[in-house]
Amino acid sequence: MNLATRVLHAQADAWAAQARLRPGGATAELPGARLAASGLPHPQHNGADLTDARLVDEAAVARWFADHDVPWAWRVPAARRWDAGQLVITQRLMGLEPASFRPAPLPADVELRIAGEADADAVVGVDLAAFGGSEAPARAWLAGLLAASERGAVAAVALATWRGEPVATAYAVHSAERAGPAALLAGVAVLPAARRRGIGAAISSWLLARAFTAGAALAHLQPDDERAARVYRRLGFTEVPGLQIRSPSPIRAPTPALGRSTVHRRGVPEAP
């Protein structure tokens, strides 16, 4: 299995792992697609990874997410032809094997540690300052990761402080499914005032080193932009073909037979 294929599998593995660590999470595998629902009402946190366009039943996938009462999106390998839905964004992907890892140094006066639930305010504060957005979805998403981090299971959330003040955070999600033992590096957030000091590279490097020591044979991530991609290349990452994030196609209800009615649930047709 080449690096690009392993990264695609690892991405789906990581989404499944993140779904399972949440109280309302669920996963499933249907013909042509792997599904993961976090239980959170945000489409970026629920998705279907397309594995075989010839086998997938779009209506069956839509019904599964409707049953779990969450909005969702398709995650489609960029190299595959798939015209369903509307393209929302193309995500870049990068992968790293242990032999290619080039650790980054820890800047002076910066300390790193694993964060838990008691650190929620600090972690959410850094995340919002770095990425923007609304507090409620950020807090809901990070709460599950922080709880798992505190238990030492599946996820590890790192918190960096500079002279005692929180300045950066990031997390790793561990999986061991179709891609083998792997770690997703994500949520790398640095306060604007603390950037260009090597803190983002250092916190990433620290989590990667922990993951490889624990047995991961692959690390993978989604760089937000070219500046971030340059940082990860210095750590040894290689870019591979990315993912198209696509909105679901509208599912049309079948024409009802005479004397029968069709019930719609959350926009998805159900059998009468």
Tens of pLDDT along 151-180? 998 999 999 999 999 999 999 999 999 999
Six-digit token pair at 185?
A: 């590096």
Q: Residue 1 burial by CB count (10 A; 0-12/13-18/19+): exposed, middle or buried?
A: exposed
Model confidence at 265: pLDDT above 80: no
The pLDDT confidence band at residue 270, using thresholds 50, 70 and 90, is very low
Sign of the CA dihedral with 145 first, then 150, 155, and 157 last: positive
CB 189 within 8 Å of CB 170: yes
* Whether residue 65 sits in one domain with residue 12: yes
Q: What is the DSSP letter of 48?
A: E
As a whole number of angstroms, the distance between CA 88 and CA 262 comes to: 31
As a whole number of angstroms, the distance between CA 194 and CA 9 comes to: 34
pTM value is 0.90
Region 258-269 average pLDDT: 27
The SS3 of residue 210 is helix
* Whether residue 164 sits in one domain with residue 175: yes
* Whether residue 158 sits in one domain with residue 140: yes
**193-246 per-position pLDDT tens digit:** 999 999 999 999 999 999 999 999 999 999 999 999 999 999 999 999 999 999
CATH number assigned to the domain comprising residue 106: 3.40.630.30
Looking at residue 85, what is its pLDDT? Answer: 87
* Whether residue 182 sits in one domain with residue 48: no
* Whether residue 134 sits in one domain with residue 88: no
* Residue 23 main-chain phi, psi, to 5 deg: -55, -40
Across 250-272, b (16+ Cβ under 10 Å) vs e yields eeeeeeeeeeeeeeeeeebbeee
Please give the tally of structural domains in the chain: 2
* Whether residue 227 sits in one domain with residue 103: yes
Tally of residues, the chain: 272
* Whether residue 258 sits in one domain with residue 203: no
Cα distances (angstroms) measured from residue 233 to each of 63, 93, 227, 228, 238: 40, 12, 10, 9, 6
* Whether residue 139 sits in one domain with residue 166: yes
**81-120 per-position pLDDT tens digit:** 888 889 999 999 999 999 999 999 999 999 999 999 999 9
CB 7 within 8 Å of CB 95: yes
Range of the domain at 234: 96-240
Residues 6+ apart with CB under 8 A from 137: 40, 42, 45
CB 163 within 8 Å of CB 109: yes
* Whether residue 236 sits in one domain with residue 111: yes
The pLDDT confidence band at residue 23, using thresholds 50, 70 and 90, is confident
Among the listed residues 165, 162, 235, the one whose alpha carbon sits nearest the alpha carbon of residue 199? 162
The pLDDT confidence band at residue 251, using thresholds 50, 70 and 90, is low
* Whether residue 119 sits in one domain with residue 11: no
* Whether residue 108 sits in one domain with residue 87: no
Range scoring the smallest mean pLDDT among 4-18, 30-44, 78-92: 78-92
* Whether residue 74 sits in one domain with residue 151: no
Could you tell me what percent of the chain has a pLDDT over 90? 86
